[in-house]
Amino acid sequence: MPNNIINALNKEQLKAVTSSYGAQLVLAGAGTGKTKVITSRIAWMIHSGIRPESIVAVSFTNKAAREMQSRLSNIIGEKTAKKVELSTFHSFALKLLRQYHKEFSLQRNFSISDENESLNLLRESIKEFHLEEILSLQDASQKISYYKDNLFTEEDFKKQKNVFDGKIICKLFNSYNRRLRLFNLVDFDDIVYLTVLGFKKNPELLNKIQDTFSFLMVDEYQDTSFSQFQLICMLSSKTKNVCVVGDDDQSIYSWRGARPSIISDFLKHFPDANKVTLEQNYRCTPNILNAANSVIRENTERLGKELWSEQANLHPIVIHACENERDESLFVVDKILSLKRESGKLNFDNIAILVRSNSQTIPLEQVFIEKNIPYTIHGGTQFFDRKEVRDLFSYLKFAHNSNDMNSLFRIINLPARGIGIATLEKIKEIHFLNKTKNPTSDIFVALKELSYEHKGIAEFLKNWNQYGEKLKNSTLKVDISSTLRDCYENIGLKKDILMSSANMQNAQFRIDIVERVFNVIEKLELPEESIQSVVDALHLDKARFDIAQETKNKVQIMTIHSSKGLEFPYVFLIGVEDGILPHEKSLALESGIQEERRLFYVAITRAKYRLFISHCGFRKKGRASGKDLEPKPSRFLSAIPQQLIIHEQTDPNSEEARRMDAARKLFELFR
């Protein structure tokens, strides 16, 4: 291993990197070089004689996994780096489910159901037990997800003290899972759920996997859910060679099953674990770090650390009091243009605007368009959720899994072929009847039966046999993209887009989105090229569509949650008011306020050099409650030491200030 890699590590990083065996917790603060530590540690292990094939490192996003792969390749070379299993929890677990599908009681070529498919199947189960009046689809979905993350089985439901969950939800849970398997589907929660349950039932298989992967590393460990923690414990129970890297101060996904206590849970499960704390920050200026430290210090349930930096202090933090959302947007634009004047070489993509929720972006977009500021919004309407993209994926998914009736029903009537709900129900009925007689019967038998009496089905079958079968038999991603394009152009989706769009501009916009999908498929990095690999990659790596979006030299607008793991020279944090940050739904519980404080901490530590915080005196949109139209500055701001801050406010003579003053006087007059 090159000496320059070791020499580039600080004292604490070196401790973490050179400890290869046994359990280890690396408590890594924001910007302390955790990716550098992870990749250097893997390189050190390989340099010390550990086989690269025996190492698995998991993160929570494909982007982070790709970053680790890239950095590791730079240290030890691409050929060796590719031997290490670098992926996400779900990608790693899915690989196991695919490889040992029989042992996990799954059919070959199962598909992953997307959110809409899952909800449709769950809706049918709710109707089966006549629960429509007492259980909403959303609540049912959350309960199913909760019980899968907590690894519930039939026996666990029997032990439930809550009779409704123990009896009714248990039936719903089982019914929903049967419907998934009927169509050869697993949902997103199933990927880890089925893996852990499968290992519990099959110790021999677990032993085999433990022998294959005897060294485990986990990035962003604080985001781990209960089922993922159990998977970590099972995989490492034999050798105890597990290293987790995380930060309890950045635990912001409780709604996804994560909790800050997962850090202390690790130390309880592995009492002999070595603990290393990384506190030297290489990202932010001392002012920004001191503000972040002061804010997060008010949280009580944390292991504790103090970030510090050797960087020079050049700028204080600006906290600007705005009149309203438009004034706030004008403040942001004025500051951006000022920064641009100060540094002529400044690219707009060095600037990030962080919001608590997407609804806050509307006033910003209006002012940015007016002032001709280029911008891009991350995490708005996702490409994967767009109708035309979901329709296109249905061609892929149906080609991969002919039992995927939901995908078939999305595409069979595109464009309209007179195939309505009654015909779809008839297809389903005949298919299920055929399967009772012959379990290997596929959907095409039913379609062929009905094609003699229905021209629309005959037309679809003819087109599918000509184009869909080619897609089904394609293996190289270039061929998959090409044959998928043939399906799109000839089976009916492109025609449907042209017919259903309001005008040609809208049609062209939707066609351009579909074209982006073809580009993404051709650029996918896959362990092996197959239609199954493409379907899995697109399901588990939806951020690919953000990557395909042009972001160069545009201001980056995103939620704080989306910004995690990123850094920007200039950060604007807007709407820092009680009711937004902390969010009003979190105010009832101390645990909710503490999570919102962690979210604020994450936002602060995205800024490298300059941080601008703003709040409004009047806000008419972007809040769930319309009662308080004069919000107070966030309670979190009082924790920031005054010597770190410059307070600003909108010029009282500005047009927006005068308009707001007149509105207040009118309000007082009528009150």
Residues annotated as binding site for ATP? Answer: 28-35
In the chain, pLDDT over 90 holds for what percent of residues?
Answer: 51
Domain-terminating residue out of 548, 569, 593: 548
Is 525 in the same domain as 404? Answer: yes
Sheet containing 85-88: order of strands = 85-88, 55-59, 215-218, 242-246, 24-28, 274-278
pLDDT at 660: 61
Q: Is 228 a catalytic residue?
A: no
> What is the CATH classification number for the domain harbouring 115?
1.10.10
Q: Classify 458 as helix, strand or coil.
A: helix
188 within domain boundaries: no
- Residue 120: which pLDDT band, with cuts at 50, 70 and 90? confident
pLDDT at 623: 43
Domain-terminating residue out of 183, 214, 230: 183
DSSP for 366-390 reads HHHHHTT--EEESSSS-GGGSHHHH
C-alpha triplet 245, 250, 253: angle, nearest 5°:
105
Domain that holds residue 529: 385-548
- CA–CA separation, 395 and 493 (whole Å): 10
Pairing of strands 375-377, 607-616: unpaired
Residue 182 has pLDDT above 70, yes or no: yes
Is 600 in the same domain as 622? Answer: yes
pLDDT at 6: 80
Residue 531 has pLDDT above 70, yes or no: yes
190 within domain boundaries: no
- CA–CA separation, 635 and 401 (whole Å): 53
pTM of structure: 0.82
Is 93 in the same domain as 116? Answer: no
* Ramachandran angles phi, psi of 276, nearest 5°: -125, 135
Q: Is 181 a catalytic residue?
A: no
**Which range among 83-87, 252-256, 278-282, 366-370 shows the weakest confidence by mean pLDDT?**
252-256
User: Buried b vs exposed e over 645-668: b needs ≥16 C-beta within 10 Å?
Assistant: beeeebeeeeebbeebeeeeeeee
Q: Per the residue annotation, which of 12, 13, 15, 35 is the catalytic one?
A: 35
Q: Per the residue annotation, which of 12, 24, 34, 328 is the catalytic one?
A: 34
Residue 549 has pLDDT above 60, yes or no: no
Is 314 in the same domain as 424? Answer: no
**Which range among 166-180, 196-210, 247-261, 574-588 shows the weakest confidence by mean pLDDT?**
247-261
Mean pLDDT across 506-517: 85
Give Cα 407 to chain centroid, integer Å: 23
Give Cα 140 to chain centroid, integer Å: 21
**Which range among 233-237, 300-304, 463-467 shows the weakest confidence by mean pLDDT?**
300-304
* Ramachandran angles phi, psi of 588, nearest 5°: -70, -30
Residue 173 has pLDDT above 70, yes or no: yes
Q: How many CB atoms within 10 Å of residue 493?
A: 22
Q: Classify 625 as helix, strand or coil.
A: coil
Sheet containing 317-322: order of strands = 375-377, 555-559, 351-355, 568-573, 607-616, 317-322, 645-649
Q: Per the residue annotation, which of 67, 219, 328, 404 is the catalytic one?
A: 219
- CA–CA separation, 532 and 610 (whole Å): 45
Mean pLDDT across 589-616: 94
Q: Do residues 319 and 637 lie in contact, with contact meaning Cβ atoms separated by under 8 Å?
A: yes
Average pLDDT over the chain reads 88
Q: Per the residue annotation, which of 69, 250, 423, 650 is the catalytic one?
A: 250
211 within domain boundaries: yes
Residues annotated as binding site? Answer: 28-35
Q: Is 606 a catalytic residue?
A: yes
pLDDT at 553: 87
Is 528 in the same domain as 403? Answer: yes
- CA–CA separation, 601 and 297 (whole Å): 10
**Which range among 458-467, 469-478, 517-526, 657-666 shows the weakest confidence by mean pLDDT?**
657-666
Is 413 in the same domain as 543? Answer: yes
Residue 77 has pLDDT above 70, yes or no: yes
- Residue 507: which pLDDT band, with cuts at 50, 70 and 90? confident
Is 464 in the same domain as 507? Answer: yes
Domain-terminating residue out of 151, 183, 215: 183
Residue 277 has pLDDT above 60, yes or no: yes
Q: Which residues, in sequence order, are bridge partners of residue 612? A: 318, 572
286 within domain boundaries: no
Alpha helices in 467-530 (DSSP H): 469-472, 477-490, 493-500, 504-523
- CA–CA separation, 35 and 57 (whole Å): 11
Q: Is 88 a catalytic residue?
A: no
Top mean pLDDT of 46-55, 162-171, 498-507 is at: 46-55
Q: Is 219 a catalytic residue?
A: yes
Q: How many CB atoms within 10 Å of residue 151?
A: 16
Question: What pLDDT digit, counting tens, does each position of 408-419 carry?
Answer: 988 898 888 888
Q: How many CB atoms within 10 Å of residue 200?
A: 13
39 within domain boundaries: yes
Residue 658 has pLDDT above 70, yes or no: no
In the chain, pLDDT over 70 holds for what percent of residues?
Answer: 93
- CA–CA separation, 91 and 285 (whole Å): 36
What is the token pair recorded at 362? Answer: 């509307």
285 within domain boundaries: no
**Which range among 79-88, 155-164, 525-534, 539-548 shows the weakest confidence by mean pLDDT?**
539-548
- Residue 105: which pLDDT band, with cuts at 50, 70 and 90? very high
Is 67 in the same domain as 149? Answer: no
Q: Which residues, in sequence order, are bridge partners of residue 352? A: 556, 571
Q: Using only C-alpha atoms, what is the Rg of the chain?
A: 27
| Overall number of domains in the chain | 4
Q: Do residues 329 and 622 lie in contact, with contact meaning Cβ atoms separated by under 8 Å?
A: no
Q: Is 34 a catalytic residue?
A: yes
For residue 530, is it left (φ>0), alpha (ψ between -120 and 50) or beta?
Answer: beta
Q: Per the residue annotation, which of 283, 335, 510, 606 is the catalytic one?
A: 606
Is 177 in the same domain as 116? Answer: yes
- Residue 351: which pLDDT band, with cuts at 50, 70 and 90? very high
pLDDT at 362: 83
Q: Do residues 387 and 547 lie in contact, with contact meaning Cβ atoms separated by under 8 Å?
A: no
Residue 510 has pLDDT above 60, yes or no: yes
Residue 497 has pLDDT above 80, yes or no: yes
Is 23 in the same domain as 84? Answer: yes
Q: Do residues 498 and 507 lie in contact, with contact meaning Cβ atoms separated by under 8 Å?
A: yes
- Residue 533: which pLDDT band, with cuts at 50, 70 and 90? confident
DSSP for 109-144 reads T-EE--HHHHHHHHHHHHHHTT-TTT--HHHHHHHH
Residue 260 has pLDDT above 80, yes or no: no
pLDDT at 543: 58
- Residue 624: which pLDDT band, with cuts at 50, 70 and 90? very low
Torsional sign, CA 190, 195, 200, 202: positive
Is residue 527 reached through a cis peptide bond, with omega within 30 degrees of 0 on the bond before it? Answer: no
Is 517 in the same domain as 641? Answer: no
Q: Do residues 27 and 243 lie in contact, with contact meaning Cβ atoms separated by under 8 Å?
A: no
119 within domain boundaries: yes
Is 544 in the same domain as 555? Answer: no
Residue 381 has pLDDT above 60, yes or no: no
pLDDT at 628: 46
287 within domain boundaries: no
